[in-house]
Structure 1
Amino acid sequence: MRGSRNRLTAAAAVRAAAAVIVTLLMFFPVFWMLVSSLKTQFEMRSAIPTLWPQSFAWENYMAAFQVIPYARFFGNTLIMSLGMVVLQLNVSLMAAYAFAKGRFPGREPLFFLVLAAMIVPDQVTFVPVYVMMSKLGWLDTYWALIVPHGASAFGIFLLRQALKSLNNDVLEAARVDGAGRFGLLYRILLPMALPTVVTLGVLIFISGWNSYFWPLIMTNSNEMRVLTVGIAMLRDSIAGNEAMEFHIIMAASVMAIIPIVIIFSLMQKHIVAAMANSTFK
């Protein structure tokens, strides 16, 4: 028994050491970005890299606001990401409710088409959507940044699985009390599937916040640019000297990931609950 206990202890120590090593490897790029954002220009140009700044250059963060309209880009990104969350969550909820609890001819074939849309790459639909935005006069507006992302096959699939697993007896009781379809969806089903809804909302927000190609094509003025495009402009604005000014780029990148870190930290309880309660019936 003592030998078995020792083997279990050794195995636990090995797993803990492996977990620490993997965590450090995954966190190191973030650590390097944070440290680089606080280095001076001279230290960044040094032939020998340092793991800690010799002196903290907090002015790098102010320099990012001076080179590009960072505050404007930040606001545009926030509006685009929140708009995508609100629109896509509502569309996905209503479609998922129809596929999970509705009874109508062709429900399964239609849901199969939704699943088939998941394998279609964005590059295939980019040109027709761009032409549509152009004909509507929405280029270089928030409409072009938000509306094309209003529906998500993955979101519909994820919420459909969550709603399908809920008991129908609750819905029948609510119908007896006079609840309509929207009442059933938003007052009964939404609270019951809240962890999955919050998880999808976080994924949508992160996707919108990190989006680069679509905002780059749909906008052509600084008033409508987003952070990802703005940071690329910051790199280009240094006139090919980005290696010398790399600390400013790192400072801008650090500020860009702060909202994602905050949202993930606040919502991680719901994300863990959604993972624990996930079902694919």
Structure 2
Amino acid sequence: MPTVDLPQGRVHYREFGPTDGPAVVLVHGLLVTGELWTQVAEALAGAGIRSVVPDLPLGAHPIALNDDADLSPRGVARLILDLLAALDLTHVTLVGNDTGGALCQFLIDADASRIGRLVLTNCDAFDQFPPPPFGLLVKLGRRAGRVRFMANSIRPKALRHSMLGYGGLVRDKLDPELTRRWITPALTDAGVRRDAARFMGAVDPQDLLDVSTRLGEFTKPVTLLWGNADRFFKLDFAHRLRDAFPDATLVEIEGAKTFVALDEPQRVAAGIRAACDVPR
């Protein structure tokens, strides 16, 4: 897997599709990696679209960042901007899910010059950062030792795939090897636990609510690809988010939950392809 050295440290990323194709950057959320997007990125590659999928420092990343890295939500948004610059990506279709959708909003608030369009799937917005009951998880994770406790508590597959783990975020069965890879760094690497705790310690719903007051300044196209069976980010939340942008379209994805990229990867890829104006 390729890496890029940024001011914050070394970041792993995956790349799919032709290097000269339209660029899509896929942003994941808390306690998962870019593998969340693999099936979507593979489908996009088949349509000639280049996808760049970083593993962000959100608790499942394979290598810890520098001790002095800014791992607040705004800091991680800046890291994504630095990644775009390092890879010389412009007119990017920026796609976010879950916590990653919040990071995309922080990013466009800071500097949208490299972004051509925005695609948000089920994600945090306004003061839902995160939505109940995940605020308790974020509060618990503000200390590195507790991050290890959280990962260890869902080490058995039955618990990883239950409502206590990732099970409530998907409609279909999870790949146990994938979810095992997601928790392993927090179990084995103190630096990863430190990074995750720093991020969760800096999460403040008021910061994202403040960003929401300026979403109307982003005049480029926005597409919302929203799983309508999500119990945490419900469809009326998507309506509210759509109305916050001046040029936004909402596409419902029937039966999908929070991790819509796992539940309906082909439909998500089709929605991104349409946003990029790339024919089937």
Same fold at TM > 0.5: no
The structure that is helix-richer by fraction is: 1
TM-score for both structures, normalised by structure 2: 0.25
- Structure number with greater CO (CA < 8 Å, separation at least 6) is 1
Choose 1 or 2 for highest CA Rg: 1
Q: Tell me the TM-score normalised to structure 1 length.
A: 0.25
